[in-house]
Amino acid sequence: MGILKDCIGNKKTNTVPIWLMRQAGRYLPEFREIRSKNPDFIKLCLNPNLSKEITLQPLKRFSLDAAIIFSDILIVPYAMGQEVEFKKDFGPKLGDLNINEVLNVSDSDILKKINPIYELIKITSKDKIIEGKDLIGFVGATWTIFIYMLNKQSPRNLNEDLYNYKNQNELIKKIIHVQKLHIKNQVESGVSIIQIFDSWAGLLNKDKYEKYIYKPTQELVNYTKSLGVEVICFPRSINSYLEYCNEVKPDVISIDYEVDPLDIAKNINIPIQGGMNPQILLTDKENLRKEAKRYLDIFKDHPYIFNLGHGVLPETDPSMIDYLVKIVKDY
């Protein structure tokens, strides 16, 4: 058990725990070297040895308190039989949705396709570098997966035709089933925490939250808790973090950089994660120190995991991450 789990359990910790979304990524030259030789992103995610190396790269460089497995939220549609590829300077591109194939895919076929991820977790959790630290597994939230599967790419704007998709209830039910399967196998393979990423929560109107966000996410949260593992939820750009916490009941709420951290500290009682704008890492050390200290001061009397309000940007200088970790550890 690591310091993150102590913080989540409201135990006193000597330092503020820190890990960063996308801490293993394109800003690291050692990651770019592996990526340049492995252009197929999904294949790379399904290579246990290389994925392990990428997962642990940031821990070899920085005094971080957790590793997050190197994978992707779109592994779920891929496991369900939808084609997924990542195009340079475009992002994810999904194939046409064959609804009959997706609804009828068997658990054994799903697990066969993504078994290398569980192998990655098994070998990573046994590595000395992770000793005394937490290994985080994850899934995309049901709404985010649903919208990717129908939109077939990053949905910058909401196409309201999605609400009228005739098989939506069956598809949502199937997505939840596959997500539970994926969570269960990650936990059984050795992750100590699960994070649920709802990257596109901010696209929805509030009157749609209950059906597309609250109900399915609460089901995933309850299921994960039943496995004895804590859950962090990141509903990016949601209208009300407080209402989300009351409805979904995660163990930790991860906040974005658009929300006022003072308001969060005042109104939310559960452990908080994140908040700082990753753009700050592109400025200078003085600016970074001020902004990091602002978050640390705001949450000093609150169980708090330092993280960003979104992932580390590819143009980030690794020395700025090093400096950030030192600021947090010395606080």
Alpha-carbon distance 55 to 19, whole Å? 12
Give the pLDDT confidence score for residue 299 in this predicted structure: 97
Strand-strand pairing, 91-94 and 84-87: antiparallel
Report DSSP letters for 214-280, one per residue. IHHHHHHHHHHHHTT-EEEEEETT-S-HHHHHHHH--SEEEE-TTS-HHHHHHH--S-EEE-B-GGG
Alpha-carbon distance 67 to 20, whole Å? 9
Give the pLDDT confidence score for residue 156 in this predicted structure: 80
Phi, psi angles (nearest 5°) of residue 144: -65, -40
Look up residue 112 and give its two tokens: 């066969």
Give the pLDDT confidence score for residue 259 in this predicted structure: 97
- b or e along 121-149 (b: 16 or more beta carbons within 10 Å of the residue's beta carbon)? bebbbeeeebeebbbbbbbbbbbbbbbbb
Would you call 208 helix, strand, or coil by DSSP?
A: helix
Give the pLDDT confidence score for residue 269 in this predicted structure: 95
Alpha-carbon distance 327 to 4, whole Å? 18
Q: Are 124 and 55 in contact (CB under 8 A)?
A: yes
pLDDT in tens, the chain (331 residues): 789 999 999 887 889 999 999 999 999 999 999 999 999 999 999 999 999 999 999 999 999 999 999 999 999 999 999 999 998 878 899 999 999 999 999 999 999 999 999 999 999 999 999 999 999 999 999 999 999 999 999 988 787 888 889 999 999 999 999 999 999 999 999 999 999 999 999 999 999 999 999 999 999 999 999 999 999 999 999 999 999 999 999 999 999 999 999 999 999 999 999 999 999 999 999 999 999 999 999 999 999 999 999 999 999 999 999 999 999 999 9
Strand-strand pairing, 193-198 and 252-255: unpaired
* Residues counted in the chain: 331
Which candidate, 88, 97, 52, 89, places its Cα nearest to that of 70?
52
* Region for 308 from its dihedrals, namely left if φ exceeds 0, alpha if ψ lies in -120 to 50, beta otherwise: beta
CATH T-level assignment (fold) for domain 3-330: TIM Barrel (3.20.20)
Q: Are 89 and 137 in contact (CB under 8 A)?
A: no
